[in-house]
Amino acid sequence: MEYRIISADDHIDLQWLPKDLWQTRVPARWRERAPKVVDTPDGPYWVCGSDRWDPWGGRKGAAGAQGGRRTAIERGGVLEPGVLRPTTTELRLADMDRDGIDATVMYGPIVPLLISDPELRKVCYRAYNDWLAQFCATAPERLVGVGLIPIDDPTSAAEEVRNLQKIGLRTGMFLAARVELPLWDDAWEPFWEAAAETGIPIGFHLGGGLRTVTFSGPKATNAGNMGVRVSCSTLQMDEPLAAVIFSGALERHPSLRVVLAETGIGWLPYMLERMDDTYRKFLDAEDYWRTHGGLALTMSPTSYCRRQVWATFQTDHAGLRMLDALGDDRVMWASDYPHADATWPESQKAIDDNFKNVPHGSRRRILCDNARQLYGL
């Protein structure tokens, strides 16, 4: 297949999943406790145990959790409650064709994190990934599924990365801003080893990392709260990025590949500058580090990023003006379909607007070649 535009960060959300996904795929002893769709006076909802999650099947009207913004599917005039466009192959491909998108990288739902039982959560991750692999197999040249990776246990994370390779998924989603065990901790080494050995790129996707935001309750829709939640959501990957670099994970594993997904790129040049300056100051304190275990780096943080880190954006004029600092081979465009932030179904207009002053070669790499090479398309 000839690729022209690949969206490197799109989504499969809970509301679009087949309602029997977990009931038919988890072992029998877990089914009573596994997520299921239940009819309520408010319409069909996902329920897990005594917890009610998100509605199922899509609904019209702005969702409060999205700050009054409509989903792309509703804006595009194709929302039909109960019609699972993002997980129905022919409908998803039709939406991609409408937008001029040749292939999509699809990040999954984060709601299974709400399952308190770690064993049930692990089973549900595995069931979702198995379903995802089968869904992608319906159009393997165009659908790239991002498997779910546990964040509460490095050993489980490593096991699931190896499972992703086994079932044929090309990449995995890791909610790096939500980890309780810091990513610089040595305990994560099995995870980094698994990612390096399998060649599975690890997508550090947004989710969590917002210290002052309220996600539920009467103040959740406060304009100040929602403004912080929406506008600051892309800036939560500074700590995970610094952790994976200064812990030496990228130094020890040159084949480990990390994607900063949906983070935008405009903040990265300053972060690289700051990390490089920190590294230089560390080198100036050689005696200190000699007595504190040594430094795990042999080159600048920017050098590791240029070698092993990618980042995605939808619209980012500031970042595209600083491509010389980022490297045009480490940046990937995305539409964010079907989220409220998505450029769909007007991605071509957004691309033309953002890429006005970007050279043709860089444009081609950012819109297509970088993702095609990273995910082996």
- The mean-pLDDT minimum among 8-12, 110-114, 287-291, 353-357 falls in 110-114
Mean pLDDT, the chain, rounded, equals 93
Three-state DSSP state, 246: helix
CA distance 62 to 298: 50
C-alpha distance from residue 178 to each of 182, 205, 226 (Å): 9, 10, 19
Taking phi over 0 as left and psi of -120 to 50 as alpha, with beta for the rest, 217 belongs to left
Nearest to 200 by CA among 252, 148, 272, 265: 148
Q: What is the pLDDT of residue 315?
A: 95
Residue 104 has pLDDT above 90, yes or no: yes
Least confident piece of the model among 42-51, 167-176, 208-217, 276-285: 208-217
As a whole number, mean pLDDT of residues 271-291 equals: 92
Domain ranges of the chain: 6-14+78-374
pLDDT tens digits, one per residue of 291-334: 888 888 999 999 999 999 999 999 999 999 999 999 999 999 99
Banded model confidence at residue 268, pLDDT cuts 50, 70, 90: very high
Residue 110 has a pLDDT of 78
Mean pLDDT of 76-98: 97
More confident residue, 114 or 90: 90
CB neighbours of residue 194 within 10 Å: 26
What pLDDT does 228 receive? Answer: 78
Give the pLDDT score at 62: 45
Helices (H), the chain: 21-25, 72-75, 89-99, 118-136, 154-167, 189-198, 223-231, 238-246, 249-252, 268-283, 286-290, 301-308, 317-320, 323-326, 347-354, 360-364, 370-374
> With 80 as the cut, is the pLDDT of residue 59 above it?
no
The pLDDT of residue 244 is above 60: yes
Cα separation, 269 vs 362, in Å, equals 17
pLDDT for position 221: 77
- Please state which of the four CATH numbers 3.60.20.30, 3.30.2270.10, 3.30.2350.10, 3.20.20.140 is assigned to the domain occupying 6-14+78-374: 3.20.20.140
Can you tell me the mean pLDDT for 96-124?
A: 91
- The per-residue pLDDT for 50 is 87
pLDDT over threshold 90, residue 172: yes
pLDDT at residue number 67: 61
Please determine, for residue 155, whether its predicted confidence score (pLDDT) is greater than 50.
yes
66 confidence band (pLDDT: 50, 70, 90): low
pLDDT at 216 over 80: no
* Residue 102: pLDDT over 70: yes
pLDDT at residue 337 above 50?
A: yes
pLDDT, residue 65, reads 46
Q: Would you state the pLDDT for residue 163?
A: 98
108-117, 124-133, 255-264, 354-363: range with lowest mean pLDDT: 108-117
Whole-prediction pTM value?
A: 0.95
Q: Which of 178-182, 240-244, 289-293 has the lowest mean pLDDT?
A: 289-293
Give mean pLDDT, residues 359-376: 98
